[in-house]
């Protein structure tokens, strides 16, 4: 799948028999769209239910803001504290763990900060900063950016002090940030699913991985009809229930790119 170059990606599964009243809108993170997961899942859901799903894929922060504006029926993102606040503020009917993968740091073969093989992310970030090696950040309040900021926060480095110097904020989605980072020879933190699906790797490799702090949890939240009376609550709940069902979880587990599983279902029993 091509990298995402737009601020938002709208993808839809068309159904010959789907009634417009059954359409639902999902506000989602870009990684699920970049990776091709929806291309795999939505036809299966549509076949099972006759419901057409439209997905707006933006950074998690923007997706949450859109859902707060009642522009969507379901929220599917990956920033658990922000998701829990969304529910606590009454905008979400409920939040449930859906699936997970992890974040990785990729970089050029020459690896100027010598972080290759490290499995402790905070010391790796400190080495990148000490070397003043270029680091491309999404800088867009996405789930990935929120995680990156929290990881820097556990180091002795405040990368904001180097903004525009060795620390470059793209304000873009994951695919665009990877393209920019590779173009400038910078390290980039990305979710693994987007990296596996990314086609412009050039000489870049995963250099830092395996730290428990790089865990990446996704959640699904039907938007509250009390806050948003226009929400298609029946369709939203049907989609969430299917994703969390044995069939939906199996469909998530079955999705692979180049023989690699991208997401690992972990809905509660």
- Domains of the chain are 9-100+218-265 (3.40.190.10), 103-214 (3.40.190.10)
What is the pLDDT of the chain when averaged over all its residues? 92
Pairing type for strands 167-169 and 256-257 reads unpaired
Predicted pLDDT at 1: 33
Q: How confident is the model at residue 3 (pLDDT cuts 50, 70, 90)?
A: very low
Mean of pLDDT values over 49-70: 96
Report the percent of the chain where pLDDT is more than 90. Answer: 90
Q: Are strands 74-77 and 53-57 parallel, antiparallel or unpaired?
A: unpaired
> 222-244: per-residue pLDDT in tens?
999 999 999 999 999 999 999 99
Pairwise CA distance, residues 255 & 269, whole Å: 21
pLDDT greater than 60 at residue 54: yes
Give the pLDDT band of residue 21 (cuts 50, 70, 90). Answer: low
Measuring CA to CA, how many Å separate 47 from each of 7, 40, 242? 29, 12, 12
What pLDDT does residue 34 have? Answer: 84
51 — pLDDT class (breaks 50, 70, 90): very high
Quick check: 22 and 235 in contact, CB under 8 A? yes
The CA dihedral of 173, 177, 178, 184, to the nearest 10 degrees, is 170
């Amino acid at each position: 799948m091509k990298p995402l170059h737009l601020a938002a990606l709208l993808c839809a599964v068309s159904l010959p028999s789907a009634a417009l009243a059954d359409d639902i809108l999902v506000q989602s993170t870009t990684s699920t769209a970049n990776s091709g997961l929806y291309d795999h899942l939505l036809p299966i859901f549509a076949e099972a239910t006759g419901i057409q799903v439209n997905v707006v894929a933006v950074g998690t922060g923007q997706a949450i803001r859109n859902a707060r504006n009642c522009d969507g029926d379901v929220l599917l993102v990956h920033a658990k504290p922000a998701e829990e606040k969304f529910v606590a503020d009454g905008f979400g009917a409920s939040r449930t763990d859906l699936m997970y993968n992890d974040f990785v740091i990729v970089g050029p073969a020459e690896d100027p900060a010598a972080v290759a093989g490290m499995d402790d992310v905070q010391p790796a970030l400190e080495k990148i900063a000490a070397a003043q090696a270029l680091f491309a950040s999404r800088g867009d309040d996405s789930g990935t950016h929120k995680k990156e900021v929290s990881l820097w926060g556990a180091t002795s480095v405040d990368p904001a002090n180097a903004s525009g110097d060795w620390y470059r904020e793209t304000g873009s989605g994951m695919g665009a940030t990877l393209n920019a980072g590779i173009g400038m020879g910078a390290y980039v933190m990305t979710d693994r699913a987007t990296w596996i699906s990314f086609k412009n790797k050039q000489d870049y490799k995963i250099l830092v991985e395996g730290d428990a702090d790089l865990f990446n949890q996704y959640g699904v939240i039907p938007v509250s009809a009390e806050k948003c009376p226009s929400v298609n609550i029946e369709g939203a709940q049907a989609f969430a229930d299917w994703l969390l069902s044995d069939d939906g979880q199996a469909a998530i587990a079955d999705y692979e790119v180049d023989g690699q599983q991208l997401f690992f279902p972990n809905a509660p029993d």
